[in-house]
Every structure is written in C-alpha cells, then in structure tokens.
Amino acid sequence: MKITIWSDFVCPFCFIGQAHLDAALENFEHKDDVEVEYKSYLLMPDAEYQPGLSYYEFFADKFGMTVEKAEKQLKQQAESAKASGVVMNHDIAKIANTFDGHRAFQYAKDQGKGTDFFKRFYAAHFTEGEVLSDTDTIVRISEEIGLDGNAVRNVVENAENTDKVQEDISQARQLGVQGVPFFLVNDKYSISGAQPVELFQQALNQIWQEEQTAE
C-alpha cells in the first residue's frame, strides 16, 4: 500500500493529519507493507517573513478579523491539537515562504528522508518558531535528520529542484486538490483533511481488503 501526501510545512491540519495517520498506522496489521511518500504543496506561495509581524497579526489581516479574534481562534486550534500529540506555539511561530524548504525537501526525498524532513519541519515551524525561509535555518534543521548540510545549501542557493516542486503542485491541480493535507492511497483512493484517527484506520482496513479482493 502506498500513501501519497500533498502538504506544506506551515499547514496546521497537515501537522495534525500526519499525527493521526501515524496513530492509525500503529494499529494497522499491515503497517510494514505501507509506503508513505510526501509531495510539495505551497499553502501561501506569496508569503514573506516580516520581522516583528506576529502570527496573530498575519492571520487577522489575511482573514479580515481583529487580532484578538485571531489569537482566540489560533489558541483554540493549538488546544485542540494537543489531543493529537501536536504542539503548536503561535506566540513564537513565524510566517515565511516555504519554497526553498520544499527545494531542500526534494533533495531529502531523494536521500530517502522525505517523511523525516516533513515531520521535522512541521515541528520547527509550529513548535520552535524557526524561520523556514532562512537558508542557514534550513541547512541546520536538515543536518539534524542526517542530511549533508553543504548539499542542502547548494540546493537552496542555486534554486535546484524548482521543477520537482512545481511538478508536485501541478499533479495536485490535475487531481483537483483544493487544500491540504490531501492523501492519495494506491493512486485511486483519496482522503482530504486532518481526518480523525478512526477514519484513517477504517480507510486503511477497507482499502487493504478491497485491493486483496481485486487481485
């Protein structure tokens, strides 16, 4: 079974969705036969890091609400995420462009560390307040999961893998993806959003049975 996931590091529901999928796989009888592949998606392609701009201010401006209301909503989101074992700290999280991070991800994927990269960058953004558009930061975090820092720096500084990122995004468009996370199982069963663990468990079991019957 192959699960393909379109996602962005700054997508809160992708962070939660990964946790839910992990929990579902833990109890899946055939988990050793499951391959997970991430693909790039740009949730906010025009985003730029602005020193001093809080997450609450950005969110308020983006969705046309007061900063107080934005803070209340994001704190509620963070509280709900705790139940999934996901830590979100919007007080220190930084809005940033993720294109360079996705270029580095494509390199990580070629090295067999694509899923590790995504999980680490989710936490870097939401939990640790890292600026994901900063080259030194991308290199440092990549090294933490065992990647060659010099190779990562070369990828970012020379804008390598741009075509691979754009190809992933193009595939998402062709599939009609409207938002992330988007999960595609065996190239034909789709699951959209951060669904509950129980739904992932049910889907995994049902798809496995259907695929076995079809053989």
Rounded CA gap, 55 and 1, in Å?
38
pLDDT tens readout for residues 118-143: 999 999 999 999 999 999 999 999 99
Cβ atoms of 153 and 135 within 8 Å: the answer is: yes
With bands split at pLDDT 50, 70 and 90, how would you rate the model's confidence at 214? confident
Closest CA to 86 of 144, 125, 28: 125
Q: Mean pLDDT score of the chain, rounded to an integer?
A: 97
Instruction: Decide: helix, strand or coil at residue 209.
Output: helix
CA pair distance 66, 59, nearest whole angstrom = 9
For residue 205, how many other CB atoms are within 10 A of its CB? Answer: 15
Q: Which residue has the tokens 């830590």?
A: 87
Torsion of CA 214, 177, 56, 48, to 10 degrees: 120
pLDDT of residue 212: 86
Pairing of strands 2-7, 189-192: unpaired
Interval 4-46: pLDDT, tens: 999 999 999 999 999 999 999 999 999 999 999 999 999 999 9
Q: What is the pTM (predicted TM-score) of this model?
A: 0.96
Tell me, what's the pLDDT at 215?
A: 65
Q: What is the reported pLDDT for 89?
A: 98
pLDDT in tens, 43-94: 999 999 999 999 999 999 999 999 999 999 999 999 999 999 999 999 999 9
45/3 Cα distance (integer angstroms): 25
Q: What is the pLDDT of residue 213?
A: 85
